[in-house]
Amino acid sequence: MGEKSITESEPGLSIYGWDRNLDFDTEKYKLESRIQETKYNRSLRAFYCIFLVQLVNGAMIGESVAAALQWSDNGKIEQRVQVEKRKDKYIRLIIIPVTVRQQKGMRTEFEKLRTQYVNLANTACRIAKERLGYNSHALRYAFINGMAKKLPPQQIAKLTGHKNLNMILHYTQTREAEQRLREIIS
């Protein structure tokens, strides 16, 4: 009687810990807004920039941190970073978004973060949980979900650095199947 699905009763939750049903475009807008709103807290703004890099590239947090730090060193829009959790040392492309590039002093701020934190990726994860209300890894899956409508799974796997398609297919097909089931029953 009046029961709701997990996603209806508690927005942002799902049966998977990493999947918070985040919409790519909505999260991109939210992060860009937070970047603009945190003019006077450069350190926090830098973390929001890292999260935006993560979202728009479907990267893991460590890859996003590495790309931001490389950008602070060389100023290049395109960065090549090693994919985390791959033993074959696969290198992937990360593009620094326009919103991040437009932030005055952000390259210097990334450099400050490098010296301030022993493990910048762990700190970013903690800040995401505190400030955004979810694990930063959810941004990676928001990217995959958003790109599933635009790109074939093989290309998504290449962009995200997945070694095989199983995870991409499992994630996108599960999400699509659940949505179709909801439509059929409604």
Query: pLDDT tens digits for 75-115?
Result: 999 999 998 888 888 899 999 999 999 999 999 999 999 89
Domain ranges of the chain: 22-185
Residues 48-83 have pLDDT tens digits of 999 999 999 999 999 999 999 999 999 999 999 998
Tell me, what's the pLDDT at 19? 58
The domain made up of 22-185 has a fold known as hpI Integrase; Chain A (1.10.443)
Tell me, what's the pLDDT at 113? 93
* pTM of the full structure: 0.83
Higher per-residue confidence, 7 vs 33: 33
Return d(Cα 57, Cα 81) in angstroms, integer.
12
Q: How confident is the model at residue 18 (pLDDT cuts 50, 70, 90)?
A: low
Tell me, what's the pLDDT at 11? 42
State the DSSP string of 15-62. Answer: SSSS-----HHHHHHHHHHHHHHTTT-HHHHHHHHHHHHHHHHT--HH
Tell me, what's the pLDDT at 15? 42
Higher per-residue confidence, 69 vs 180: 69
Residues with Cβ < 8 Å from 127, sequence gap 6 or more? 44, 47
Residues 136-174 have pLDDT tens digits of 888 998 898 889 889 998 899 889 988 878 888 877 777
Tell me, what's the pLDDT at 20? 63
Would you say residue 16 has pLDDT above 60?
A: no
Tell me, what's the pLDDT at 145? 86
Tell me, what's the pLDDT at 5? 34
Higher per-residue confidence, 39 vs 69: 69
Beta strand ranges found along the chain (DSSP E): 78-82, 91-95
Residue range 34-47: mean pLDDT, rounded: 93
Return d(Cα 103, Cα 128) in angstroms, integer.
20
